[in-house]
């Protein structure tokens, strides 16, 4: 009761001082919004992993021991299908040479600068496979056939830098980003693209594709920017259109629009103040804020317009509309915020950002809806549209229909929920990260092309230790490494294995006058060590072994490339490989594989585990809020049904309809929970009001609730479904899944709120009482 008086006093205060509240709202939003200028965009996939993520730590350790680089892979396809000819090789040489000058590049590997070793008399010759001098020699002394054979016979090249029929080749640029500012990667990519177009101009008849880690990072970055710049305006358009249809009042639409805009400015400004970088997941925050902000306004405006239709004076209508809605709007905002804040349990920082930015936006939307919104409609002309009494009557009739069939509804819903819920574990989690991008995304196109025609771009690294200083020359160790490399080569998904043992075998052959019978590992340790020393001393700038051998020469990095694989296949290959090492090798070689793709392979599982905790906690908190605000343990606990069932149905339906998902699926529960709850808050609040203030029986109270919030619930649900459906336009699959599954869950929530909830509420009254629906339908 006391709250009601507060609501009323507040409503009067706002309507009496509209200008003051508008100024207050503007100052608040712009104060937060000022931080918007500090917003940065993150273009580092590592940011998807917490600082203490074990897979990230393992990969960082590997990078600290060997080298930390992100590759930019130029894949070159001559249109005539032949790499080994003068024009193409000259082009590759040009590209190799120029790639050294790309920002942050540290190493460039191509077929032209491959360090070819061979015996010449008693000497070991180490030189570029083909030099520009040889290519520009007017007498054309080089044999392209011979170069082709060397390249195809070289295990370091075949299947990595050149494909088996020598029709596609690559220039692999290793870049080391200092990570000091967010423009490093976009800058490098812009230069790489410039180089591609220069190459195409100079060497026509070649197709170029760009892939690799650097391009992946950039694709995340571009997807985020694109989502923000395309989805947000699309959303504005859709929302304004819907509001005109629903509210039929320019003033109401204008006021809602201002609330939405200022909420977004506040939320994004907060991101700026906090130094939160924008990533694809957090780039959708404006759309989510917009979707949620509008619901508050709609509830208040609907009431006001309804009261105006009933002939109330404008000021009274505003005060009464605000009074009726202050508490439910506060509650729904609070539960939404609890849901979004629980994203902080996730293992993926961009989801923390999405949750926090959205929470601030939703808080702003609440504040503005009860200050700026009523102030604006107070100042501008507002007329109640046509009466939609018809809708209310229909609501009442629906209520009656439901309560009369309560047993059937409860049985059908229970069976459906159990059956569909059982499908949830069948969802296959796939985080093959190229699949994160839609099929028309340039990174996806180029990466798919690379995988089909040249090599797999999913790398897994093994840090193999000999267990002793300088031990990589130990023949017993080398033998194990070679066996392991062969084991991996037998894996069907592995397209290439880069192992130091191939270098040792080649050197042994070279040191024995290029006799093929010596293409095997050296048998003596000192011999192997000295071959390696000689080879190392012969390598030019940037092409050293530092990315493959540690400083103490005690361990080596073995890298396998995998082609088209699902996350579960990657985990299987990795597990088999790790077990192989355990079973066949000394303890020093027992190691865990690490790489970006392995990090992503565990991201879903880790997020699901973390978010189950977060979601349950949010659930508990929200149920407590419901119990307290309804002032009833029974109805508070009953609210669990409409809150939980739609989420179970949503996941289960996804499993049946789509079957596959990525790590975003873990957060849908939390995101939708706070929203789904809103419907039950409104419904139960009205139901409770009817029971307490008007002394209705349960069935009459259900009809009352239908009449009073049924229409608004349909309207807000439609808006929410559309809002989340807009996310399905994203090129980033994780945002697509989030949007689609959230929209589905919200639609299911409305269905449950209109069927199962009233049926259960009807049962809650115990023995059925005879109701007089006609007498109730006009009460307000």
Q: Give residues in contact with other proteins (CB under 8 A).
A: 61, 63-65, 67-68, 100-106, 122-128, 176, 178, 469-470, 473, 511, 524-531, 533-534, 536-546, 549-554
Question: Residue 659 — φ and ψ, nearest 5°?
Answer: 90, -25
Confirm if 332 and 709 have CB atoms less than 8 A apart.
no
Taking the least distance from each CB to other proteins, the nearer of 164 and 183 is 183
* Contact predicate 166/82, CB 8 Å: yes
Query: In terms of CB distance, is 515 or 657 closer to other proteins?
Result: 515
Closer Cβ to other proteins, 537 or 770, answer by number: 537
Cα separation, 577 vs 490, in Å, equals 11
Work out how close the CB of 461 gets to other proteins at its nearest, in angstroms, rounded to a whole number: 14
Minimum CB distance to other proteins, residue 546 (Å): 7
CB 261 within 8 A of CB 316: no
What is the chain's length? Answer: 780
Report whether 109 contacts 74 (CB < 8 A): no
678 in Cβ contact with 450 (< 8 Å): no
Q: 416 or 534: whose CB is closer to other proteins?
A: 534
CB of 470 to other proteins, least distance (A): 4
Residue with smaller CB distance to other proteins, 121 or 695: 121
Nearer to other proteins, 103 or 421 (CB): 103
Nearest to 780 by CA among 704, 683, 688, 700: 704
CB closer to other proteins out of 96 and 279: 96
Nearest distance in Å: CB 75, other proteins = 22
Q: Given the complex with other proteins, which of 113 and 561 has the nearer CB atom?
A: 113
Q: CA-CA distance, 231 to 234, in Å (whole number)?
A: 5
Nearer Cβ to other proteins (503/709): 503
Nearest alpha-carbon partner for 522 in 507, 544, 540 = 507
Q: Which of 343, 20, 44 is nearest to 183 (CA)?
A: 44
Q: Which two tokens stand for residue 366?
A: 């609440």
In the complex with other proteins, the residue whose CB is nearer, 62 or 290, is 62
The pair of structure tokens assigned to 508 is 């042994």
Which tokens in the block code for residue 744? Answer: 């589905």
Q: Are 627 and 636 in contact (CB under 8 A)?
A: yes
CB of 218 to other proteins, least distance (A): 18
- Residue 64 Cβ vs other proteins, minimum distance, rounded to whole Å: 4
How buried is 364 (Cβ within 10 angstroms: 0-12 exposed, 13-18 middle, 19+ buried)?
buried
Which residue in the block uniquely carries the two structure tokens 């609070």? 334
545 vs 749, which CB is nearer to other proteins? 545
Report in angstroms how near the CB of residue 108 gets to other proteins at its nearest: 9
Question: What is the spatial distance between Cα 374 and Cα 708, in angstroms, rounded to a whole number?
Answer: 20
CB of 62 to other proteins, least distance (A): 9
Cβ–Cβ under 8 Å, residues 196 and 210: yes
Query: CB 390: neighbour CB atoms within 10 A?
Result: 9
Rounded least distance, CB 602 to other proteins, Å: 22
Tokens representing 509? 């052959």
**Which residue, 21 or 59, has its beta carbon nearer to other proteins?**
59
Min separation Cβ 46 and other proteins, Å? 15
Using the minimum distance from each CB to other proteins, give the nearer residue, 67 or 688: 67
Q: Specify the residue for token string 């796939």.
A: 430
Closer residue to other proteins (CB): 491 or 536: 536
Shorter beta-carbon distance to other proteins: residue 86 or 127? 127
717 contacts: CB under 8 Å, gap ≥ 6: 679, 746, 747, 749, 750
Closest CA to 351 of 282, 273, 431, 271: 282
d(CA 430, CA 602): 10
Nearest to 216 by CA among 528, 444, 440, 393: 444
Burial class (CB in 10 A: 0-12, 13-18, 19+), 433: buried
DSSP 733-776: HHHHHHHHHHHHHHHHHHHHHHTHHHHHHHHHT-SPPP--HHHH
Rank residues 93 and 323 by Cβ distance to other proteins and give the closer one.
Answer: 93
Contact between 578 and 591 under an 8 Å Cβ cutoff? The reply is yes
Q: How far is the CB of 121 from other proteins (least distance, A)?
A: 9
Separation between Cα atoms, residue 478 and residue 301, nearest integer Å = 76
- Smallest gap from residue 452 Cβ to other proteins (A): 32
Q: How far is the CB of 496 from other proteins (least distance, A)?
A: 24
Q: CA 151 to CA 346: how far, in whole Å?
A: 47
SS (H, E, C) 606-632: HHHHHHHHHHHHHHHHHHHHHHHHHCC
Shortest CB 104 distance to other proteins, Å = 8
What does DSSP say about strands 206-211 and 428-429: parallel, antiparallel, or unpaired?
unpaired
Q: Which two tokens stand for residue 439?
A: 């099929």
Q: How are strands ordered across the β-sheet holding 70-78?
A: 105-110, 169-175, 70-78, 206-211
Contact present, 74 and 99 (Cβ < 8 Å): yes
CB of 456 to other proteins, least distance (A): 26
Compute the least distance from the CB of residue 146 to other proteins, in Å: 19
Which CB atom, from 508 or from 601, has the smaller least distance to other proteins? 508
Q: How far is the CB of 534 from other proteins (least distance, A)?
A: 5
């Amino acid at each position: 009761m006391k709250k009601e008086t507060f609501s009323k006093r507040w409503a009067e205060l706002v309507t009496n001082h509209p200008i003051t509240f508008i100024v207050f709202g503007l100052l608040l939003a712009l104060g937060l919004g000022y931080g918007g200028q500090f917003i940065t965009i993150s273009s580092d996939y590592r940011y998807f992993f917490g600082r203490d993520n074990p897979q990230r730590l393992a990969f960082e350790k590997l990078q600290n021991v060997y080298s930390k680089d992100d590759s930019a892979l130029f894949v070159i396809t001559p249109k005539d299908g032949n790499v080994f000819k003068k024009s193409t090789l000259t082009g590759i040489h040009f590209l190799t040479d120029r790639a050294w000058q790309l920002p942050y590049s540290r190493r460039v590997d191509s077929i032209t600068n491959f360090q070819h070793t061979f015996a010449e008399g008693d000497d070991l010759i180490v030189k570029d496979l083909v030099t520009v001098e040889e290519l520009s020699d007017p007498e054309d002394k080089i044999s392209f056939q011979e170069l082709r054979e060397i390249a195809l016979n070289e295990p370091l090249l075949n299947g990595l830098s050149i494909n088996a029929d020598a029709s596609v080749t690559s220039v692999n640029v290793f870049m080391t980003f200092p990570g000091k500012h967010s423009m490093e990667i976009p800058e490098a990519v812009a230069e790489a693209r410039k180089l591609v177009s220069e190459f195409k101009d100079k060497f026509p008849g070649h197709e170029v594709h760009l892939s690799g880690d650097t391009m992946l990072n950039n694709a995340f970055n571009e997807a985020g920017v694109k989502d923000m710049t395309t989805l947000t305006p699309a959303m504005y358009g859709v929302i304004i259109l819907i509001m005109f249809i629903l509210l039929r009042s320019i003033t109401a639409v204008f006021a809602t629009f201002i609330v939405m805009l200022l909420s977004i400015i506040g939320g994004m400004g907060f991101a700026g103040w906090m130094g939160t970088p924008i990533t694809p997941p957090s780039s959708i925050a404006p759309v989510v804020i917009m979707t949620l902000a509008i619901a508050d306004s709609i509830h208040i405006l609907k009431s006001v317009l309804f009261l105006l239709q009933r002939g109330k004076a404008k000021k009274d209508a505003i005060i009464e509309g605000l009074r009726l809605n202050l508490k439910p709007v506060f509650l729904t905002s609070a539960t939404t915020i609890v849901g979004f804040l629980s994203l902080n349990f996730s293992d993926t920082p961009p989801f923390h950002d999405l949750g926090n930015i959205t929470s601030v936006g939703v808080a702003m939307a609440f504040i503005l809806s009860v200050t700026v919104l009523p102030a604006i409609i107070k100042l501008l002309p507002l007329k109640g549209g046509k009466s939609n009494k018809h809708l209310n009557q229909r609501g009442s009739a629906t209520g009656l229909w439901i309560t009369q069939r309560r047993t059937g509804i409860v049985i059908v819903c229970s069976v459906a929920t159990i059956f569909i819920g059982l499908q949830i574990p069948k969802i296959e989690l796939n985080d093959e990260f190229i699949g994160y991008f839609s099929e028309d995304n340039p990174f996806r196109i180029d990466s798919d092309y690379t995988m089909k025609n040249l090599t797999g771009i999913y790398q897994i690294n093994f840090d193999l230790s000999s267990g002793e200083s300088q031990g990589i020359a130990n023949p017993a160790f080398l033998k194990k490494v070679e066996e392991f490399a062969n084991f991996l080569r037998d894996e069907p998904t592995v397209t290439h294995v880069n192992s130091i043992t191939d270098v040792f075998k080649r050197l042994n052959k070279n040191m024995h006058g290029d006799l093929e019978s010596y293409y095997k590992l050296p048998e003596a340790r000192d011999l192997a060590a000295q071959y390696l020393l000689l080879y190392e001393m012969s390598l030019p700038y940037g092409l050293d072994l530092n990315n493959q051998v540690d400083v103490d020469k005690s361990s080596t990095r073995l890298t396998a490339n995998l082609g088209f694989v699902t996350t579960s296949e990657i985990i299987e290959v990795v597990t088999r490989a790790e077990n192989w090492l355990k079973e066949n090798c000394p303890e020093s070689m027992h190691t865990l594989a690490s790489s970006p793709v392995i990090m992503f392979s565990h991201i879903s599982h880790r997020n699901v585990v973390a978010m189950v905790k977060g979601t349950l906690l949010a659930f508990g908190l929200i149920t407590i809020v419901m119990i307290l605000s309804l002032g009833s343990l029974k109805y508070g606990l009953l609210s669990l049904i409409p809150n939980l069932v739609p989420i179970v149905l949503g996941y289960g339906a996804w499993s049946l309809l789509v079957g596959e998902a990525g790590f975003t699926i873990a957060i849908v529960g939390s995101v939708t929970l706070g929203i789904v709850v809103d419907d039950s808050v409104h419904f139960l609040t009205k139901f409770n009001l009817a029971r307490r203030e008007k002394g209705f029986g349960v069935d009459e109270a259900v009809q009352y609730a239908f009449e009073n919030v049924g229409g608004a619930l349909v309207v807000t649900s439609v808006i929410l479904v559309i809002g989340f459906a807009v996310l399905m336009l994203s090129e980033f699959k994780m945002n697509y899944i989030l949007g689609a599954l959230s929209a589905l869950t919200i639609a299911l929530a409305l269905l449950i709120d209109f069927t199962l909830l009233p049926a259960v509420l009807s049962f809650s009254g115990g023995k059925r009482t005879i109701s007089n629906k006609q007498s109730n339908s006009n009460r307000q």
